[in-house]
Amino acid sequence: MQLKKNPKADLTKNSSLYFAIGLAAVLLFSWGSIEWKTYEKSAFDYQALNVDDEDDEEVPITEQIKTPPPPPPPPPAPEVIEIVEDEEEVEETVIESTETDQEEIVEVEDIDVEDDFDDVDVPFAVIEDVPLFPGCERVAKSERRKCFQDKINKHIRKNFRYPEIAQEMGIQGRVYVNFIISKDGSITNVRMRGPDKNLEKEAARIISKLPKMTPGKQRGRPVRVPFSIPITFRLQ
C-alpha cells in the first residue's frame, strides 16, 4: 500500500522560501517606483528652423532723394556809364618822323680811341716787343725772345749757391719764381713757391741780382711784362 504526503506538511516546510521571494519582489517594486521619473512632453518639443524663410525676406528698396542744385547767383547789375560831353578840345600830339632824307648827309666826328696800357700786363709769350736783357740790343727782333731766355738762364747759373742748411738736411726740389718787368725795366712783384723756405730765399736772392732791362712794348708803348722761370735745386 503506497502512502500519500500531507499537503500542509509541504507548505509549512517551504514557507520561509516564499517569504524571501515575496520580500525581494516588494523591495524591487518599491525601488522602481522611486527611480521612475516622468517629463512633460512640452519641455522636449523641438521645432525645426526653416532657413529658407529668412533668405526670402524682401529688402525694401530705398530711393535716393536728389537734392536740387542751388539756384544760380543773380547776374551782376550793369554798370551805369555816364556819358560826359567834351567841353574842352584835346590837342592831338603829332609825332614827327626822325628819319632823315636821303639827300641829307650826317657828319660823324672821328672818335680817337686811346689804348690805355697803364694797368695792363702783357704776357712775355705774346708781347710784340719783348724786354731786352743787356747784351740783346743788337740781336735781330725775331731772336730777342730766345736771347732773353738764354741770358736769364746764364745769370741763374752764375749766381747760384746751394744753401748749406738745405744740403745738410738733404732738401732738394724746384722753386717756381714769378716776377714782373715793369714799364721802367726794373724787377718787381717777386713771388716764389717751392718745397722749402731756404730754397725760396736763395731763388729770391738770385732774381734780385737781375740787371735793369729795356721794358717790353705793346703797340709802341711800354707795358708791364710778367715772367716766370723754375730754379732747380738738386744734390750731387
Query: What are the pLDDT digits (tens) for 103-157?
Result: 555 554 554 445 555 578 999 999 999 999 999 999 999 999 999 999 999 999 9
Which grid coordinates are listed for 170? Answer: 738733404
pLDDT at 46: 46
Which grid coordinates are listed for 194? Answer: 717751392
Q: Is 170 left (phi over 0), alpha (psi -120 to 50) or beta?
A: left
pLDDT at 71: 73
Quote the pTM value.
0.50
The CATH class, in words, for 141-233 is alpha beta
Convert the pLDDT of each residue in 42-82 to its tens digit.
Answer: 444 445 445 454 445 555 555 555 666 777 776 666 555 55
H-helix or E-strand containing 18? helix 15-35
